Amino acid sequence: MQNVPILSNDEVGKLITVPECINIIERLFKNLDHTQMPPKTYLNIPNGDFRAMPAIAYDTAGIKWCGVHLDDTGTKRKVNIFAKVLINDIKTGKLLCIMDGETLTAIRTAAVTGVATKYLSRLDSQTAAFIGCGNQTKRQIEAVTAVRDIHEIFLYDLDSDRAHRMAEEFDNARVFDSLAECLRDADIVTTLTPSRKGFIKQEWLKESVLINAVGADAKGKRELDASVINHMGLIVYDEWEQCSHSGEIQYLSECIRRPALFSLGEIVSGPLEYNNIDRTMGTLFDATGLAIEDIATARYVYERTT
């Protein structure tokens, strides 16, 4: 093997912070002209799938190779996720680095939420709810609190122990036993579950809420009831093809109202008409996760090693 750095998840986590990654992702969405991103390729296995996610961003050609495998042979269902990222310099073709992709994915996904929240949430947002307290949630909280002055963090998880453990990591976090209660006073709601049902209802939400819908990233996954999408004044997607296939807006046809639709790139590159849209109706950011986010972030991490 040629002499390239090979970075573990721990090493990746030490080389980049969520606020640093927010800057990278914001610049990335301002410069999409210089990127390439063919559709993800899927391979299907009996209990999951593998995905090849190639892209060019920041003069870097790279790929994330990742997979999900459900192990239901034991007493408890176990989901195995693995991801590796390889990046090459496009000026020389040279392989620069191989790194674990799990921590990288968590950080870049949170950073995208941070960018969306910076551009789409009300400036006076003070409360933020996080639905689902899994591996990605801590960094999602870091991202939202990095861009808005959040006074209170509301947490909900079907496994309330998990929510309480997450709450211990923050000074101003509260755990709710009721999903409706958790959502009621939240200015910003970030959904982080693997749900296949639209379990969040419009009647529980604040009128001018920003929802960052992060969980739905594959066909058949959804977290929002049709009533929620129906009530949005603005929907922003990370990438149209992917969201209309894998995100919350795969269910757009169930809605009577059709809100204004913009890409995150359009929003970040503004100024845009969306400033004129009636924001009292709420905004949805539909995130499915993009290969360009992985490659841009991986390049930054690699540069920190040199």
Among 15, 21, 25, 100, binds its own copies (CB under 8 A): 100
The residue among 64 and 231 lying less far from its own copies, judged by its C-beta, is 64
Q: How many CB atoms lie within 10 A of CB 121?
A: 24
Asked if 36 is part of the footprint of its own copies (rule: CB under 8 A), the reply reads yes
C-alpha 274/C-alpha 250 separation (Å) is 22
Q: Is residue 170 close enough to count as binding its own copies by CB under 8 A?
A: no
Residue 103 is a binding residue for its own copies (CB under 8 A): no
Tokens coding 38? 């063919």
- Residue 41 near its own copies by CB under 8 A: yes
Smallest gap from Cβ 301 to its own copies, in A, equals 14
Residue whose C-alpha is closest to residue 236's, from 247, 246, 251, 227: 247
Strand duo 234-237 + 48-57: pairing: unpaired
Looking at the Cβ atoms of 48 and 134, the one nearer to its own copies is: 48
Q: Name the minimum Å distance from CB 12 to its own copies.
A: 10
- From 14, 30, 34, 45, residue interacting with its own copies (rule: CB under 8 A): 45
The helix/strand/coil state of 184 is helix
Residues composing the chain = 306
Contact, 235 vs 284, CB < 8 A?
Answer: yes
**Number of chain residues interacting with its own copies (CB under 8 A):** 42
Task: Kindly state whether residue 31 participates in binding its own copies, applying the rule CB under 8 A.
Answer: no
Crossing angle of helices 18-30 and 291-305, in 10° steps, is 120
**Strand pairing of 173-175 and 152-156?**
parallel
Which of 17, 19, 68, 174 contacts its own copies by CB under 8 A?
68
Q: Which stretch binds its own copies (CB under 8 A): 33-41, 140-148, 178-186, 259-267?
A: 33-41
Choice from 14, 30, 34, 38 touching its own copies (CB under 8 A): 38
Catalytic pick among 64, 118, 206, 221 = 64
80 binds its own copies (CB under 8 A): yes
Determine whether 64 is an active site residue: yes
Residue 48 within binding range of its own copies, rule CB under 8 A: yes
Q: Is 92 in the site for its own copies (CB under 8 A)?
A: yes
Q: How far is the CB of 1 from its own copies (least distance, A)?
A: 5
Q: Closest by alpha carbon to 64, among 114, 22, 109? A: 109
- The answer to whether residue 43 forms part of the interface with its own copies (CB under 8 A) is yes
Query: Residues 6 or more apart from 236 whose CB is under 8 A from it?
Result: 116, 120, 261, 262, 263, 264, 267, 283, 284, 285, 286
8 A C-beta contact, residue 229 and residue 251: yes
List beta partners, residue 70.
79
Please identify which residue in the block is written with the tokens 């976090």: 173
Selected from 8, 135, 172, 305, the binder of its own copies by CB under 8 A is: 8
> What DSSP string runs through 86-106?
EEEETTT--EEEEEE-HHHHH
Name the residues annotated as catalytic: 64
Kindly list the residues in this chain that would bind its own copies in the complex (CB under 8 A).
1-2, 6-8, 36, 38-39, 41-48, 50, 52, 54-56, 61, 63, 65, 67-69, 71, 80, 82, 84, 86, 88, 90-95, 98-100
